[in-house]
Amino acid sequence: MQEAIILVGGKGTRLRPLTNHTPKPLLSVAGSSFIRHQIAKLMDAGVEHVVFATSYLAALFEEEFKNFSPDLTLSYAVEQVPLGTGGAIRNAGRLLRGDDPDAPVLILNGDILSGVDLRGILDAHRSRDADVTLHLTRVPDPRAFGLVPTDDDGRVLSFLEKPKTPEECVTDQVNAGCYVFRRSVLDAIPADREVSVEQETFPRLVAGGSRVHGHTTEEYWRDLGTPLAFVHGSADLVTGTATSPLVGSPAQALIHPSAVVDPTALVTGGSTIGPGAEIGPHVVIDRSIIGGDVRVAEGARIHESVVDHDSTIGGGSLLREVVVGCHAHIGADNELPAQLRLACGIRIPAQGVRVSGTAAACATVH
Ligand code: GDD
Ligand code: MG
């Protein structure tokens, strides 16, 4: 039986406030929670048992997968205190069903959207008789990732997590957050303390001469851990740039059947509109995620942004690369610039925030 572990215990701090109440893997991406896309992909690759390594808001994962599917067994390894990525893998390993010490265990970070062929990684692992196989990808700027140089044969030479100086950036080849571990190697990770698989386990295995191999591919790959990456990942799934067994034919928008979109509105770039949302006349929504029961009034423009459920966006407002928490109210004619995060429940009056000048009368006494 092919088994897998998914690491889903992180707090998703870079996606706050969306992650204040919802763990990152349970956020909605192209109409389904992100973790459901990953689970569908694992099932397509023949995985029959998945262990979730949970910690932050752990109970919500069990709720999400209540009565899920007879074809997949799900287990939950809950860390009362986060054990780090290596500790989480070791802890989740206790719930694996198989007892073959050489069995290949698939391990995924819970925030990676990738077109990689999982069976291909498993095949590469087996054919090389590796202890660990790491999926690697190339990125333009490797500083936010684990650097993994390999020799001509694909053998991993070193592992450097989040390089700090330009001299340390010796390659653009990075850890793509998907591994195959030989079961006995997984079981040898220390069980009595927090362990980082990136900072401790991989460097130790490489230095100790273990058979650690890289499997470098060119397919679509994105870590959805930041707001912009998150909206782009969702849009890529809708437009067909990225694929998931859960998303149908490529489209410019994914609009829930219960949403009401005015015929003069333009919803494009792979945007999603959640259940019960109301999109007014002449609104433009581009490459954005609009949550359930959100109302967007006439003439508002929303680009590369996320508006969480039950919020309202006033007429004529402009949002660019903004994250709006749930139950927020943005009045009319606001102009919200990139990088803004608006807390859940916040209220911004009409013309309260603008990059260009405001025509509203001054409300203070001079
Ligand atoms: N159970 C558990 N416990 N899970 C954890 C813990 C923990 O203590 N800490 C992190 N995780 C989970 C997160 O939920 C996420 O799914 C995954 O581990 C990776 O954590 P991130 O916080 O997303 O790490 P990152 O994106 O900065 O870096 C990682 O991913 C890169 C690829 O996107 C590293 O693995 C890098 O080496 C890699 O290049
Ligand atoms: Mg990440």
**Are 282 and 195 found together in one domain?**
no
**Are 118 and 218 found together in one domain?**
yes
* Dihedral sign, Cα of residue 61, residue 67, residue 72, residue 75: positive
pLDDT band (50, 70, 90) for residue 364: confident
Task: State in Å: Cα 125 to ligand 2 middle.
Answer: 23
Has residue 340 been placed in a domain? yes
pLDDT band (50, 70, 90) for residue 98: very high
> Is 90 exceeded by the pLDDT of residue 362?
no
Domain that holds residue 299: 252-348
Has residue 353 been placed in a domain? no
Q: 184: which 2 tokens?
A: 């006995």
Has residue 355 been placed in a domain? no
Task: State in Å: Cα 320 to ligand 1 middle.
Answer: 27
> Is 80 exceeded by the pLDDT of residue 110?
yes
Closest residue by Cα to atom 2, ligand 1, is 9
| Predicted pLDDT of residue 105 | 98
The position carrying tokens 């410019």 is: 252
**Are 116 and 261 found together in one domain?**
no
Has residue 140 been placed in a domain? yes
Q: What is the mean pLDDT of residues 225-253?
A: 96
**Are 164 and 116 found together in one domain?**
yes
| Predicted pLDDT of residue 210 | 97
Per DSSP, what are the bridge partners of residue 44? none
Task: State in Å: Cα 77 to ligand 1 middle.
Answer: 16
Q: Supply the DSSP string of 58-94, one letter for each residue.
A: THHHHHHTTT--TT-EEEEEE-SS--HHHHHHHHHHT
Element (H, E) at 137: strand 132-138
Q: Which ligand is nearest to the CA of 19?
A: 1
Q: Supply the DSSP string of 143-198, one letter for each residue.
A: GGSEE--B-TT-BB---EES--SGGG---SEEEEEEEEEEHHHHHTS-SSS---II
**Are 212 and 268 found together in one domain?**
no
Dihedral of the CA atoms 213, 216, 222, 223 (nearest 10)?
10
Closest residue by Cα to atom 16, ligand 1, is 110
**Of the candidates 15, 257, 354, 324, the residue with the CA atom closest to the CA atom of residue 313:** 324
Q: Supply the DSSP string of 264-291, one letter for each residue.
A: T-EEETTEEE-TT-EE-TT-EEES-EE-
Q: How many CA atoms lie within 13 A of 16 on its CB side?
A: 6
Closest residue by Cα to atom 28, ligand 1, is 145
| Predicted pLDDT of residue 167 | 87
pLDDT tens digits for 171-218?
999 999 999 999 999 999 998 899 999 999 999 999 999 999 999 999
The domain spanning residue 135 has which CATH number? 3.90.550.10
The C-alpha angle 59, 92, 27, rounded to 5 degrees, equals: 40
pLDDT band (50, 70, 90) for residue 143: very high
| Predicted pLDDT of residue 360 | 72
**Are 260 and 193 found together in one domain?**
no
- Mean predicted lDDT score pLDDT of the chain: 95
**Are 190 and 300 found together in one domain?**
no
**Are 121 and 256 found together in one domain?**
no
Type of residue numbered 215: H
pLDDT tens digits for 50-88?
999 999 999 999 999 998 989 999 999 999 999 999 999
**Are 166 and 294 found together in one domain?**
no
The answer to whether 149 touches 168, Cβ cutoff 8 Å, is no
**Of the candidates 245, 321, 9, 265, the residue with the CA atom closest to the CA atom of residue 253:** 265
What is the radius of gyration, based on Cα positions, of the chain? Answer: 22
Has residue 90 been placed in a domain? yes
Closest residue by Cα to atom 21, ligand 1, is 10
The position carrying tokens 């291909």 is: 120
Task: State in Å: Cα 253 to ligand 1 middle.
Answer: 30
Has residue 172 been placed in a domain? yes
The answer to whether 183 touches 96, Cβ cutoff 8 Å, is yes
Best probe residue, ligand 1, of 51, 52, 111 (max atoms within 8 Å of C-beta): 111
Assign 19 to helix, strand or coil.
helix
**Are 295 and 199 found together in one domain?**
no
**Are 165 and 311 found together in one domain?**
no
Has residue 234 been placed in a domain? no
Task: State in Å: Cα 365 to ligand 2 middle.
Answer: 49
Has residue 153 been placed in a domain? yes
| Predicted pLDDT of residue 357 | 77
**Are 116 and 181 found together in one domain?**
yes
Ligand 1 atom at minimal distance to the Cα of residue 110: 16
The domain spanning residue 273 has which CATH number? 2.160.10.10
pLDDT band (50, 70, 90) for residue 49: very high
Name residues contacting ligand 1 (CB within 6 A).
7-10, 53, 55, 79, 82-85, 88, 109-112, 145-146, 161, 174-175, 177, 198, 223, 225
Count how many domains the chain has.
2
The answer to whether 328 touches 347, Cβ cutoff 8 Å, is yes
Ligand 1 atom at minimal distance to the Cα of residue 197: 35
The answer to whether 1 touches 98, Cβ cutoff 8 Å, is yes
